[in-house]
Structure 1
Amino acid sequence: MEPILIDIIAGARPNFMKIAPIIKAIQERQGRGSRLRYRLVHTGQHYDARMSGDFFAQLGIPVPDVNLEVGSGTQAEQTATIMTRYEKLLMEKRSDLCLVVGDVTSTMACSIAAQKLCVKVAHVEAGIRSGDWSMPEEINRMVTDAITNYFFTTSEVANANLRRSGVSDEKIHFVGNTMIDTLLANMGRLRPPMFWEELALESGEYFVLTLHRPANVDDLDQLTGMLTAVAGGCRNLPVVFPIHPRTSKNLGTSPIPDNIKLVEPQPYLEFNYLVKHAKAVITDSGGITEETTVMGVPCMTLRDSTERPETVTMGTNVLLGTDPTNLKPALDLLFSGRWKKGDIPPLWDGKTGQRIAEILEATL
């Protein structure tokens, strides 16, 4: 019998931790005689080793079979280059399925290229919505889900979003969260970053900050105002700020408060060690709110909406919006010891990759 070839697409840092459990589950099935095979396609959307290469090494992801080496560019330039190069790959050696994860440009671009060649698409993390069309990720999600064949979801909220858009129940597979598979599998391997002692960090006595969304970082006054509010509200405790290249460029040489400690983007094991031992995390990321929910770490999200509402309704996360004045009341609540405890959402149990591989084998 012919093998079944699945293209697994990875383009940017958030993708890598989501594909690792799927690759592992397929490899385990291969060892038991499964026909499933995979071709790991790295689009090269994130081309900085700190943003991607470290993740492959730390998470045990094999060297990609193909690197499209897309590199930098505008949204449209990256989309066009990914589509052109992935189309060429499919025409040279066609796969049976294109499996995409998350909501980055590579997710949408490879889905379009695959469907145009009548290759079916599976979307891992389908159905999540923020309702904010100003976010490129929201457009990527909506376009991808409009042309997806198999929807793998993280929550009942995502399931409901898909049903409202007309997706039938037999196409929706509620499997859980592969990013949590990766977190739980590596919890015992987390390690302090090189600067832990240099910054004299102590567990529960510092904050972690991440900022990269345009609403927070593209306007310098907004960015510096947010940093001032964070520094003041954290009562002089250290604030470890792994600075995204986009944020660093926009900040330039502007002065920042003394207790905000700028560091390079961190590899997976070091970053999650910081999160696990932090007093709280202040962020505008979506994925980090899932990890803080599972680790029971208080989280404050500097956005007006979230595509992961279960981290707010069930987890440790609170939406604060982009107004810096909202930070102090939230931080005062944290320091008073009255932050909510939170629960872990259903099926965020470390077995999502296995469920996906099982469904793929049964379906394909």
Structure 2
Amino acid sequence: IVGTRPNFIKVTQFKRIAKNYPKFHIKILHTSQHYSDEMSKIFFNELDLHPDYSLDIPDHLSSVSQIAEIMKGIEHFIVNHFYPHLIIVVGDVNSTLAGALVANKMNIPLAHVESGLRSFDTTMPEEYNRILTDKMAQYFFVTEQDAIINLKNEFVPENKIFFVGNTMIDTLVAYQDRIEASDILDKLQLHPKQYILLTFHRPNNVDTPNGLERVVQLIRDIHRIADHHIRHIVFPIHPRTKNNFLKFDMFNQIQSIPSLVLTEPQSYLNFQKLIRYAFCVITDSGGVQEETTFLKIPCITLRPSTERPITLWEGSNVLLPFDIPTISGYIRSIQNNNHQNYRIPEFWDGKSTERIFRILSDII
């Protein structure tokens, strides 16, 4: 069960690997939690990921209504089209929780991919999705050692926890040649390592005039401190972010910054090319922390906590407050080559999906 772009990226290799296990018959259900030509169909086409079934749920629902509609749609699919021996959910979005609830109420075994991650920040709705999903799961596939510790602390039996690595990295490895072939740098007239890449979409940063004003001030400050090594600031603007800039009549403020390259949301291949050749990335995203860690690109995450601590201990990620002098100071420290000792975490090697199927073949 998948529903959002981060979900899609985590399951691109499932059907390919499943071909090596004839006893498995895999169906991918897309809940349509994220659905638009720009942000879903493009991903499906370039990643050769074609869901077997897509729900038709209304747009602009509250979280409660969205989860309810997704649950009803999943139940209808199971009852009328395909009754599974196992449901697999990935990540921490509303579709994850909805799938877990359906599995629980229909007495179908549940596996959670990316299990055990905890930010310990209960202001994030995703934190509840993670915890509740793990409460209902029978099989726990984890990306890092901290997740194992978290699950053991929640009394999950050790023989149900499987350290497999990160399936998101499987996609990066599988598509690395196609990512390299992307011409997005030429289209945007960018030079490698001479731009900073920005992504912002979390409510506390983009849903209020004060939050958007901080984003504007940050971009202006980066423009101010940029030297000949950093020529551009690239901002593929999320629809939520753009709509709020327009709603509060602030869009012209970012458009007027000379070094800013403002783009529409990018396809997966284009966005990964932009990450790969960025001087650094500034984000409030979860998945970007992992992608930059694998690619060893400095990442500044403007959040008080992360559910992916291995990106801090071993990777290229740092948590900073949304304080412009602090952010500017860290950018200068990157310019001075003070942050180079990055490591790729264990099992982030492109083989995580294979590990999952090898385990499932033994336990099902």
TM superposition score normalised by structure 2: 0.93
- Name the aligned partner's letter for residue 270 of structure 1: N
Per-residue Cα deviation, 1:262-316 (whole angstroms, up to 9, x for no partner): 2111111110000000100000111111111111111100100000010011001
Q: Aligned to 1:151, what secondary structure does the other structure show? A: strand
Per-residue Cα deviation, 1:321-340 (whole angstroms, up to 9, x for no partner): 23333211111111222123
- Whether the aligned pair in 2 keeps the contact of 1:111 and 1:147 (CA below 8 Å) is yes
More deviation, 261-270/319-328: 319-328
- Residues 1:132 and 2:124 are matched in the alignment: no
Which among 73, 76, 80 is matched to residue 88 of structure 1?
76
Whole-Å separation in 2 of the counterparts to 1:224 and 1:240: 18
Q: Tell me what 1:23 maps to.
A: 15
Whole-Å separation in 2 of the counterparts to 1:104 and 1:195: 29
- Whether the aligned pair in 1 keeps the contact of 2:87 and 2:108 (CA below 8 Å) is yes
The 1:231–1:52 alpha-carbon spacing in structure 2 relative to 1, beyond 3 Å, is: same
Segments of 5+ residues of structure 1 without an aligned counterpart are 1-8
More deviation, 261-270/229-238: 229-238
Q: CA deviation at 1:71?
A: 4.1
Which among 115, 139, 149 is matched to residue 138 of structure 2?
149
- Whether the aligned pair in 1 keeps the contact of 2:184 and 2:270 (CA below 8 Å) is no
Whole-Å separation in 2 of the counterparts to 1:163 and 1:115: 21
Q: CA deviation at 1:95?
A: 0.9
- Any runs of at least 4 consecutive aligned residues in structure 1 with deviations exceeding 4 A, and if so which? 191-195
- Whether the aligned pair in 1 keeps the contact of 2:27 and 2:52 (CA below 8 Å) is yes
Q: Tell me what 1:48 maps to.
A: 36
Whole-Å separation in 2 of the counterparts to 1:28 and 1:263: 40
Q: Tell me what 1:333 maps to.
A: 333
Q: Tell me what 2:316 maps to.
A: 316
- Whether the aligned pair in 2 keeps the contact of 1:87 and 1:114 (CA below 8 Å) is no
Q: Tell me what 2:109 maps to.
A: 120
Whole-Å separation in 2 of the counterparts to 1:341 and 1:283: 21
Q: Tell me what 2:358 maps to.
A: 358
Q: How does 1:74-223 map to 2 (within 5 A)?
A: 74-92=62-80, 93-191=82-180, 196-197=185-186, 199-223=188-212
Q: CA deviation at 1:191?
A: 4.6
Q: Percent identity?
A: 41
Count residues with an aligned counterpart.
351
Which among 5, 29, 35 is matched to residue 13 of structure 1?
5
Whole-Å separation in 2 of the counterparts to 1:88 and 1:338: 55
The 1:24–1:70 alpha-carbon spacing in structure 2 relative to 1, beyond 3 Å, is: same
Per-residue Cα deviation, 1:231-284 (whole angstroms, up to 9, x for no partner): 423534311111111111111141112322221111111100000001000001
Segments of 5+ residues of structure 2 without an aligned counterpart are none
- Residues 1:251 and 2:245 are matched in the alignment: yes
What do you get for the CA RMSD once the two structures are aligned?
1.5
Q: Aligned to 2:12, what secondary structure does the other structure show? A: helix
Which among 229, 235, 238 is matched to residue 241 of structure 1?
235
Whole-Å separation in 1 of the counterparts to 2:184 and 2:356: 38
Whole-Å separation in 2 of the counterparts to 1:199 and 1:287: 24
Whole-Å separation in 1 of the counterparts to 2:306 and 2:220: 24
Whole-Å separation in 1 of the counterparts to 2:300 and 2:112: 28
Q: Tell me what 1:280 maps to.
A: 280
Q: Aligned to 2:281, what secondary structure does the other structure show? A: strand
Whole-Å separation in 1 of the counterparts to 2:149 and 2:45: 37
Per-residue Cα deviation, 1:33-71 (whole angstroms, up to 9, x for no partner): x2111111011111112211111111121x221111224
Q: CA deviation at 1:168?
A: 0.8
